[in-house]
Structure 1
Amino acid sequence: MATARLVPAHRAPKSPAEPAAAPAPASPGRRRTRLTALVFVAPLLAYLAAFYAWPLYRNLDLSLRDYTVRSFVSGHAPFAGWENFRAVLADPTFAPAMRHTLVFTFVSLAFQYVIGLALAVFFNRHFPLAPVLRALFLVPWLLPLIVSASTWSWMLNSESGVVNHALHLVGVEPVGWLTSPDWALTSVIIANIWIGIPFNLVILYSGLQNIPGELYEAAALDGAGPWQRFRRITLPLLRPVSTIALLLGLVYTLKVFDLIWIMTKGGPGDSSSTLATWSYQLGFGTLLPKFGPGAAVGNLLILIALAFGLLYVRVQRRQEK
């Protein structure tokens, strides 16, 4: 007689009709933790929505509609699609403004970084009065931008500027820094470099403080010279800090408006006009404002900044890998 084979209870197969076990209800402590997290995150989300998401949406809406002064006040404007972008790209001012924007951005970034790095290495030697001198270099960064731009406008004045006066003393003919189409863009680049050097100095100096001094001592014992120590130790270990400094400088320099507007207003002609100043001129600098094309130029500037930022981050990640 065959005996029945018993199956243990924990191995018995479940019936297909048997419902799945319901998840355990969240404990009061877990719900309280989630609620606390939402309370802390809510102000940040509100801030981002009010000062980032909403302005971006409004700017995009302006660029896709045919706004006039009357429709801007009433809030009702016909949908124009991509017509504002087509008009901007076909405008003769677009190519010079784009070229000036790129030249202004990359020349400023290059000089700001190189000079800031040189000053950071210089002050890293901890000589007497180094903290005082380092604090004095921060003055351009601390001054209001309108004060800095007005000061540079006075210094580079063609008739009464101290720069032309100094050139006259050494026998050089005066230069029309702000009135000549050949020198206007150079003048605003010089002023922007002066303003941006302290930022790079602070960021790179903080990065140098985190490099162990034992590495330099070991390299010196192995016979490495100052340039080899700088190239083999300082630059590689400063790469993450340099990425932050250059990326933030790139985003900031692309959208510089007030410095150029105070010094040259984009002129003479369009010789120092950038996408930022052109956007302002289209939207607010004429008797009949063109809100749609002005917003379209602003959106193009945002896309350019985003593209360059993502490209730079990607290149840095590849180098790190």
Structure 2
Amino acid sequence: MNMTLVTKPHDRLAAALSTEMAEVDLLIRTRMHSDHAPRIPEITAHLVSAGGKRLRPMLTLAAAKLCGYQGEHHLGLAATVEFIHTATLLHDDVVDESEKRRGRPTANLLWDNKSSVLVGDYLFSRSFQLMVATGNLRVLEILANASATISEGEVLQMTAASDLKTDEDIYLQVVRGKTAALFSAATEVGGVIAGATPEAVAALFAYGDALGIAFQIADDLLDYQGDSGATGKNVGDDFRERKLTLPVIKAVAQADEAERAFWTRTIEKGQQQDGDLEQALALMAKYDTLAATRRDAEAWAAKAQQALTALPAHEIREMLHDLAGYVVSRLS
């Protein structure tokens, strides 16, 4: 029997949290429903059936459990985190004009952009209803701030993505906005709702932040060296969409005049032609930027693991530790 599937850290985490996740899934399905606008459940059902690892809500449940929480508010917060994530996916696919998400047609392709944007707005609204129900102002502050940071990161990415002046610092700022902000909010609110010490809450935030950054860097790297069947994306999508991600940023930083002209034409001006992706990959190979990007992802994963040392010994802590390692091991 192949044991690979049950030994993956996110699968072990899902098994340990299976009872709570079932309740969160029920809550998500209930709150995604609308009696008055049937388009909402149509689109949300498409997203839910597409699967996904539900990693962000699991992080909230894991953080609460690690800190000894006994109540039920963590369920609503986990659903909140998933709603925010799903809303941003709907909006992202419209902005990026994407046609594929998790290997399936995107909502904006099956329906239209207007529906995707409005249903995304609906899910944001649902998320605020759920977080208010906790009656915890600190939780509300964390998730409201994360929502603002995510939007800010998306706008920054829109202006920075095709600008060759975008350096690694700006890239990190974008990644903190579009990905890490929700990871860190997911872990932080789990600790806050459990009444954990400020030190434990800070450690949970640091873990989520570093995990989110490692996750996004790995994702950007997989765009150039991943298996499209496994990732649900076509190799080189980021290049075709003129997105300056870390492997390209590192290549641009070392480019000579002719190479810089190539990047200006393909990324800044969007004048792409047959053979350009192969040329881009050749330049990344010349400067070994894929390996350098992988080292960055590994360093952030190690930071996430280090943050966990401030938290109590627990099987969940070990799973979170392994999860950070797995985020980069999938690059092999």
What TM-score does the superposition give when structure 2 sets the normalisation length? 0.31
More helix by percentage: 2
The structure with higher relative contact order (CA 8 Å, sep 6+) is 1
- Mark the structure with the bigger radius of gyration: 1
What TM-score does the superposition give when structure 1 sets the normalisation length? 0.32
